Amino acid sequence: MSDTPARIDTPVQPPHQPPPVAAEIPRAALGGVLMGMANLVPGISGGTMLLAAGIYPRFIDALAEITTLRFRSRSVILLATVVGSAALAILFLAGPVKDLVVHQRWMMYSLFIGLTLGGIPEVWRLFEQRGVPMWVGAFAGFAAMAALALLQQLGATASVDAEPGFLLLGIAGLAGAGAMILPGISGGYLLLVLGVYVPILAGIEQFVSALKTGAFDAAMDVAWSIGLPVGLGIILGVLGASNLLKICLERFRAATLGVLLGLLVGAVIGLWPFQGGVKPLPGDVLKGRVMTEQSILDLNPKDYPTQYFRPDVGHAAGAVGLVLIGIGITFGVSRLGRLRFGRQHD
């Protein structure tokens, strides 16, 4: 009698088949809209929104194919749907979001803090090993964001009221696009730190208004001065970041994810909510100009200098509530994606 154990045949599982293209389009459109809205809000990640819509794995696969010059129709259609939906969301929602940031800054920043903190579990779940490389990377990322926040507070970096140049707008587009490749990293916050968040949203609003009124020359001015550098930066950011992150995650996964985690946690430092634009007084110097009563009347509220204020009990309670709401929103959206697709995103 042979000692060889009997072989038990198990049924072969059929390979995973992606859903039909027609089934992906509605989900890609929803993910694109959510992604566009996320990119208008510092603190919430476009990648997290794509996760919630259940399209993130296919989006990354399609992006990898396009960047290696493999233009399958399926991938082209999916990317076009996501990008087109995101662009429409940005065009139509930039104005309202900008107004809220300018006029209700402490409320919006409190919400942004919650949205940022709510993205931490998404990055944490990506870790397979949590050792020294992770913590070193996390410390480096946190220190970088803390230094940026300190420099911005001291005035060494551009404020949200500064007029950005072509190069800075290109860098902002590159950084913002790169940030949305992985869930949990906010491109909007990087724009805020670089000092171009409000100017870019204001430019988008001006572009839409010019188109509505038929002022095509004004629309083209905005397109050339803001749209061109930001657009070039976005293209370079997506192409460069997707391939660079792929290499880093393959070779130094724990350290790379640690840096991303540190950047995310450190982002909260620069979002101290109790600040707002304060109307200058005659004699104050703003952007090298001595303010007069007439110049103050002509000044747009978005250009008011930012000052910190001492919160009262109402401000503090409201801020805590908004932080919790923001955490709940980001966590709830990411949780929705996991419930829909099981462990596909783990």
CA distances to 11, 13, 19, 344 from 16, in Å: 15, 9, 9, 11
Mean pLDDT of 49-62: 73
User: Mean pLDDT highest for which of 153-162, 219-228, 326-335?
Assistant: 219-228
Model confidence at 317, in pLDDT bands (50, 70, 90)? very high
What local confidence, expressed as pLDDT, does residue 183 receive?
Answer: 62
- Between residues 259 and 42, the one the model is more confident about: 259
Distance CA 276, CA 296 (A): 17
What local confidence, expressed as pLDDT, does residue 248 receive?
Answer: 78
> Does pLDDT of 12 surpass 60?
no
User: Mean pLDDT highest for which of 47-51, 194-198, 251-255?
Assistant: 251-255
Model confidence at 324, in pLDDT bands (50, 70, 90)? very high
Distance CA 286, CA 200 (A): 21
Mean pLDDT of 155-178: 66
Report the mean per-residue pLDDT for the chain.
75
> Does pLDDT of 321 surpass 90?
yes
pTM for the full predicted model: 0.60
64 token code pair: 């990898």
Distance CA 107, CA 59 (A): 33
> Does pLDDT of 275 surpass 70?
yes
